Structures are given as C-alpha cells and as structure tokens.
Amino acid sequence: MKITFLFLLSFFNSLLIFCQSFSEENDKRIVEALIKQGDSLKKTDTKKAHEVFRKGLSIALDHNFNEEVAILYKKIGTQYYLNQDFVKADRYYNKGLNFDSISKVAADLNYNASLVKEKLHQGDSAMVYLEKSLRLYEKLELNNSGYKAFLRAGYVYKDLQLYTKALKYSIKAYEGFKKDGDNSKLADACTTIGNIQNQMGHHYQALNYHFQALELEKNLDHGFGKGICYTNIASVYDDLKMHDSAIANYQKALVHFDKKSGPYAKLLSNMAITYCDLGNKKSSVELFNESIKINQNLRDTISLLYNYNGITHLFLKHNSLKQARRYLDMANHLLPVIKDKRAILSAYENEAEYHKKVKDYRTALAFQLKYSDLYKEVYNTRQAELVQTMRANFEYEQREDKIQALNLKNKNAQLLLSEKNESIQYKNLTLIILGIIILLVVIIYQFFLQRQKTAVQTVRIEKLEAIYDGQEIIKKRIARDLHDIITTNFDGLRLRVLALKRSSNLKQSVDGITDDLKKMNLQIRMVSHRLYPLEMYMGNQKFTDIIKSRLSEFQLYGNVFVELEDELPDLLNGLSIGVQNNLYGILLEVLNNVEKHAHATTLNIKNSLDDENNMNIVFEDNGIGITNKHKEGIGLMNIKQRVEILEGTCNIGKTKTGTKVHINFPVKITDENL
C-alpha cells in the first residue's frame, strides 16, 4: 500500500511538472498569436493593435519570455515613434534592450533607438546606438532592416567627413537592396554613394552612381526623386567646371519641384551661383532674387542668409558696391537670429571683402578677425565632436566586449541547465508513460463496466419506448373517435341556429350558442392536443413554430401570461420525430398542470445549451406550488417517464412563487440541426 502511494505521488508530481511545461508552451503560443494579431491591426486600427501588443507583453513578462518581451517592446516603441512621441519610444526601445542585446531584435532596437536619439537632437547617443546596431547586423544574416541601417550609416559618416566608412556601409546597402530587388532604396543608396564619391573628388564615379539613381527613379516614376538626381548630377558638373552641363541638369530638375517650395528656391540659388561662375551677372541676379522671394514667403531665414551671401558675393565680384551694401545690410539684419555658423562665416567674409574694396581697411581687418575666430571655433568644435564620438565608441566597444563575455558565460550555464532539464523531463516522461498505462487499464475496466450498464439501460429505454409507442397508437385512435363524436354535436347547434328565427329572446340565444361553441372548441383543442400531440401539426411547419403556436393558444384561452425568455434554438427542428414527440408531450403536460392545478397567472420558460450539448429547459409559474400528493400524479409521472426516454433528468419542486420544472437531456449536434 505504501509503495503504491509513493508511486502515485511520484506520478502526479511528474504529471504536474509536465503540465506546467505544456502550459508554458501554450502561453508562448498565445503570445506569438497576439503578436501576429497586433501586426495585422497596425494599419487599420492602431489603438486596438496597441492593446493587443500590451496584452502579449504582460503574458511574456509574467513567464520570462525574454525574446518575445524584446519584440513587443520594439513594436510598442515603434507605435510611439510613428505618433512622434519620441520620449516614450526611446524608453520602450531601451527596455527591450534590457531583455535582448545580441539578436536581430536587439540590432533593430539599437537602430530604432538611434533614429529616436536623432529626433531628440542627441547626436552623440544616436551614433553610439547606430554603431552598435551595425556591429550586430554584420554578425547576423542580413535583411532589409540591416541594409537600411547600413544606408543610414553612409549618410551619417559622410556628414562627419569619414568618407571611407561612409563608402563601406553605403556599398553594403547598395548590394543588399540590389539583391532584394528594392529599387526605391537602391536609388537612395546610389545617390548616397554618388555624393560620397563627389566629396572624395571622384567626380566621374559620382556621375556613374547618380545616373544609375536617375534611371531607377525614372522606372519608379518618382518625380521628386528625379529632381534630386538631376540636382546631384548638376552639382558634380559644377565641381568639374562643366557649367553648361550643370545648367542643363538644373533646368531639368526644376520641373520636378513645387515652384513655391524650399527645394525649388535652393535649386534657383545653385543655378545663380553657376551663372555667377560663368560670368552671366544678369541671369544670376534674376535667379537669386527669385529664390529670395520664395524664401521670404516661406520665412526661411537661414536660406535667406545664404541667398544674401550669394548675391552679395556676385555684386562684389563685379564691383557693384552699392548693391552689395544693400544685401549686406539685409544679411546683418538676420545675423542675430541665425545659428548656422557657416552662413555667418560667409557673411563675415563678404563684409571683409566689401570694406577692403571701399578702402576701409580697419573695418575689413575687424571682420577678417571675426571670420578667423569663428572659423577656428567651427572647425575645432567639429574636430572635438569627432574625437568625442571616437572616444565614446571605444568605451562602448569595451563595454560590449564585457557584455559579450558575460553573455557567452550565461549561454554556457543555460546549456548545462537545459541538459539537466532534458534528463529530468526524460525521467518524468517515463513515469508518466507508466502512469498512463495504469490509467488505461483502469479506464478500460470502467469502459466495459459502463458498457454493461449502458446495455441494461438501453433495454429499459427500449421497453419504455415500446410502451409509449403503443400509447400513442391508442391516443391517435381515441382522438379520431372523439373528434367524430364532438363533430356530431354541431348538428344540435345547427338546429339551435335555425330556431333563432322563432326565438323570443334572440340575444340570449345567440350568446348561449356562442358560449357553447367556445367551450366545444376549447375541449376539442385540449383533448386533441393531449391525445394526438404532434403529427397532426407536422408538415411544412417547424417544430419551434408549433411550440410557439401552442403557447400562444394557451395564453389566449387559458388566461395565463406566457413569457418565453430565450428564443427557441433552431437545432430543435432537426431532432428526430421521437424526441420531438416526447418533448412536445412534456410541454403539454406542463401546460395542463399550470391550467388545472397550479392556478397560475404567469408562466416563465427558459432554455439553454451547456458545453456538453445538454439542453436545459426550465418552466416556472407563480401558482400555489406543488405538494407531495401532486408529485405522484399521472401528469408529472408522465413528464418524468418522457424525460427518461430522452435519457435526461427531471427536477420538479416548489419555489417561493410557485412550481419549477427543470428538464435536462442530451442533444446530438449535426449539420442538419445546426
């Protein structure tokens, strides 16, 4: 006995562990399903998608599903990013990195964090996150996200004048987008490589990439993209001193921009500078003034200062000092609100040149000194930023090396733990199999025992059905005979109607005939319903409609308010005629008891189908209730026997307000009765 107890205890403990493992796997599948559901809702219902992601995050956090937690933090952070809530986006991306720092999800989180830091004007932090994402992407199987990170690295390193690095990552992006067939991003990569090559002085290589980008944009029919390509090509031709080709491409670019936009104004300014280099003062002035007008309407003070600097340089070049002074004054008016130090440098340079030409050498020297001081500040600051970025990257790489070492150690520990868990699970599985074998033996024994009981019960039910089949045959015959007998009474009524002509009290005679007719009609219906309950109504009518019709008649003639609380289910219409017949017989017995014995004024009927496909029907009236004597009555016994035929149960009892009859019987669900 003790050994058996210990075995069962061990078995149930193993079963519990197995169930916990199964439950955990099930929870993980739920989280994965919620992630898919949220992804499908992102474009149509962002609020609902957010709720789904948060629900999945809660489950994942509770069960320490670190991979799924990181994914969900990334998705929620991206939603905040798209809604321009960059602070919250930054918070969620960093939370995700706390759970995953080495996978593709971690690479995506770092890249997204770099975008957020850029939006928050935290350039140094943006670079740190970007370089971390690059290191991770380079170790993983590359995809579109990695190529986008490489392309962004090309932009950033170009702006930092780290052209070798910029070219390296831009070419990786180019090859990746070309492999994926992503022509839109491939065009962007071509443009970036072209700009880098141009900065490095490789002008003809730059032209090659810009023409590739232009061809791609033409195939994509991107108007704005074509405008950018023509502008870049023109800029390279300017650097090659091929000004006529530059002008031709600037003019092609103009048609792709809105004439009231900033890019259009910038393009006009570039063309003006090119005409200035060609010595075409008139065209240059016209283009500068047109650009100035657009930027004034846009209230773009930085672009205006560049315009004023450009046209001032033009007038100084041609010794038009009066016009140059005019635009210098306009530029000086903007200087207090301008933070672009390169634009201010150009303004100081023009002032020094102007005062030199008017022979005011002291003022010229003062502006030249201002220019020199600001120049040092600008480029020393730039150099300091580069050094700071490199130092931050070095420190970050050291931290990453430590983290990688810790992660490797952690993975080894997890591997050992996993092996131990597998061994334990194997032992548990063996115990479970033994337990299942024992349970199967018990189940088989119970099965044969139950089958024997079922056979006995089946015989009993068959006997009851045979009894009631015989009763139904007798009832049909009685119903026909009774109907014929009652019909003969109408002859008497006919004679009374004929005698109306000779009646001295016509109204009284008519009322008497009417009352007799009502009574006879009610008697016929009641007797006919009870003796011949269902088949005479079956035809094109549904079973549920017959029940409703009978309830309506009962309410009309019996003066009892019937409340059908739940709609009768359509599956009742698909039941066999035998089941319907017994169910209808139960209904008639209940109605008869309510009318004759309960003295009720209301009858409430409820129905429901439980999870095991058992139909529950509850009849509850507000009558005088039921006594022990009534429980032994023929009507209630008939109800119980019919329920027994249906293989169900019946509970009849007294309540505070009357009598309650609750029947429960199984229903076979098929395609026909759904």
Q: What confidence tens digit (pLDDT) does each residue in 513-526 have? A: 777 676 666 656 65
Residue 633, domain extent? 540-666
Report yes or no: 86 and 106 within 8 Å, Cβ to Cβ.
no
In-domain check, residue 118: no
Residue matched to tokens 């898919």: 36
pLDDT for residue 463 is more than 60: no
Q: Which two tokens stand for residue 571?
A: 């599956």
Residue matched to tokens 């088949």: 535
Give 193's pLDDT tier (boundaries 50, 70, 90).
Answer: very high
pLDDT for residue 22 is more than 80: no
| pLDDT mean over 451-479 | 67
Q: What pLDDT does 487 receive? A: 62
Report yes or no: 653 and 644 within 8 Å, Cβ to Cβ.
no
In-domain check, residue 204: no
- Residue 318's Cβ-count burial label (10 Å; 0-12, 13-18, 19+) is middle
Q: What pLDDT does 617 receive? A: 94
In-domain check, residue 39: no
In-domain check, residue 158: no
Rounded-to-integer distance, Cα 624 and Cα 632, Å:
17
Report yes or no: 272 and 287 within 8 Å, Cβ to Cβ.
yes
Tens of pLDDT, residues 31-50: 889 999 989 988 888 889 99
Amino acid residing at 471: Q
Going from the C-alpha of 513 to that of each of 488, 524, 547, 556, the distances in angstroms are: 15, 16, 31, 20
Report yes or no: 607 and 613 within 8 Å, Cβ to Cβ.
no
CA 367, 373, 376, 381 dihedral sign is: negative
Q: Which two tokens stand for residue 503?
A: 């009646």
Tell me if residue 665 falls in helix, strand or coil: strand
Residue 558: closest CA among 595, 593, 521, 523: 595
In total, the chain counts a number of residues equal to 674
Q: Which two tokens stand for residue 597?
A: 């014995």
> Structurally, how many domains does the chain consist of?
1
In-domain check, residue 423: no
pTM recorded for the entire structure: 0.54
In-domain check, residue 654: yes
In-domain check, residue 656: yes
pLDDT for residue 412 is more than 50: yes
Tens of pLDDT, residues 364-373: 899 899 889 8
pLDDT for residue 564 is more than 70: yes
Q: What pLDDT does 291 receive? A: 94
Amino acid residing at 619: F
CATH of the domain at 593: 3.30.565.10
Going edge to edge, which strands form the sheet with 659-666?
Answer: 561-564, 602-609, 614-621, 659-666, 649-654
Report yes or no: 571 and 584 within 8 Å, Cβ to Cβ.
no
Tell me if residue 211 falls in helix, strand or coil: helix
In-domain check, residue 369: no
Identify which has the larger pLDDT, 389 or 295: 295
Lowest mean pLDDT among 96-100, 112-116, 535-539: 535-539
